[in-house]
């Protein structure tokens, strides 16, 4: 094959469209943009940037998970399944996908207010960034700054689900006031494992048990 020519199937695969059905749908977008036609197997290398522009502006790439597809549904672009690392939402991250599924579960259960105690600064930022724009109210408390009993009670009363994130940066003086309130025990869980995915799965399991 000449150096100035690319196989369309290979180019689409490089952009995440590996499954035959996904390639067919993506090709139709390229054809609609007059970059190729159904009879062609190859494309000029000089058109690569134009192909990538069509993919970026007319296609929403999803790993296929319901949570990611819901995020992309309002994009105004055609949602096409791609290999997970090319997903615009989770980028193939199991943790991000789990957090989005958790957000969906909180909304579906009518319990959108989530309070999380603990976690490293990086993990709190990761959770906040991943869930930005989702219809939940998220409160993240630093694990090394006690709130005091009054504030702990206010936060507990206002939350639908309270997560004591053990195994992370979480001092006893921070968590104990929340643990002491027996009236909130039904909406309080402890997640012993680190990782946003573990936290999300713990919340989802709690919602299943208490629905």
Provide the CATH number for the domain around residue 164.
Answer: 3.40.50
Model confidence at 1: pLDDT above 70: no
204-209 mean pLDDT:
97
Query: How would you classify the pairing of strands 113-117 and 137-141?
Result: parallel
Q: What is the pLDDT of residues 181-203, one digit of tens each?
A: 999 999 999 999 999 999 999 99
The pLDDT value given to residue 11: 97
Mean pLDDT over each residue of the chain, to the nearest integer: 95
Torsion 23-26-31-34 (CA) sign: negative
Is the pLDDT reported for residue 63 higher than 90? yes
pLDDT score of 3 = 80
Read off the pLDDT of each residue in 31-52 and give the average, rounded to a whole number.
Answer: 96
Q: What percent of the chain has pLDDT over 70?
A: 100
% of residues, the chain, pLDDT over 90: 92
Q: Clarify whether residues 31 and 66 are in a common domain.
A: yes
Mean pLDDT (whole number) for 11-32: 97
Question: Do 104 and 144 sit in the same domain of this protein?
Answer: yes
- Same domain for 101 and 204: yes
Residues 52 and 104 grouped into a single domain: no
CA distance linking residue 20 with residue 23, whole number of Å: 5
- If asked whether residues 44 and 76 sit together in one domain, one would say yes
Q: How many domains does the chain have?
A: 2
204 closest CA partner among 123, 99, 130, 129:
99
State residue 78's pLDDT score: 97
167-182: pLDDT as tens digits: 888 999 999 999 999 9
Query: Does one domain contain both 72 and 117?
Result: no
pLDDT grade for 102, boundaries at 50, 70 and 90: very high
Answer for the pair 55, 8: CB distance below 8 angstroms, yes or no.
no
The domain boundary residue, chosen from 86, 107, 123: 86
Mean pLDDT of 38-54: 96
Does residue 70 share a domain with residue 12?
Answer: yes
Answer with the one of 37, 57, 86 that is the final residue of a domain: 86
Question: Over the range 148-163, which residues count as b (16 or more CB within 10 Å of their CB) and which as e?
Answer: eeeebbebbeebbbbb
Q: Is the pLDDT confidence value at 4 over 70?
A: yes
Question: pLDDT digits over 138-170, tens only?
Answer: 999 999 999 999 999 999 999 999 999 998 889
Range of the domain at 138: 94-210
77 in the same domain as 102: no
110 shares a domain with 58: no
Whether residues 114 and 201 fall in one domain = yes
**Is the same domain home to 123 and 69?**
no
82 plus 117 within the same structural domain? no
- Domain stop point among 86, 104, 138: 86
């Amino acid at each position: 094959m000449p150096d100035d020519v690319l196989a369309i199937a290979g180019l689409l695969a490089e952009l995440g469209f590996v499954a035959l059905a996904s390639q067919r749908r993506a090709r139709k977008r390229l054809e609609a943009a007059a970059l190729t036609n159904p009879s062609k197997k190859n494309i000029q290398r000089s058109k690569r940037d134009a192909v990538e522009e069509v993919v970026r502006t007319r296609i929403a790439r999803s790993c296929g998970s319901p949570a990611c597809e819901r995020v992309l549904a309002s994009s105004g672009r055609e949602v096409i399944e791609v290999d997970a690392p090319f997903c615009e939402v989770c980028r193939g991250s199991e943790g991000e996908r789990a957090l989005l599924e958790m957000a969906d579960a909180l909304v579906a259960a009518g319990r959108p207010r989530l309070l999380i105690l603990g976690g490293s600064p990086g993990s709190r930022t990761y959770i906040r960034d991943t869930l930005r724009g989702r219809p939940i109210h998220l409160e993240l408390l630093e694990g090394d700054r006690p709130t005091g009993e009054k504030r702990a009670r206010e936060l507990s009363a206002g939350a639908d689900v309270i997560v004591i994130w053990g195994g992370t940066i979480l001092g006893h003086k921070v968590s104990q006031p929340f643990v002491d309130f027996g009236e909130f025990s039904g909406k309080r869980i402890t997640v012993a494992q680190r990782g946003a995915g573990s936290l999300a799965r713990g919340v989802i399991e709690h919602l299943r048990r208490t629905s």
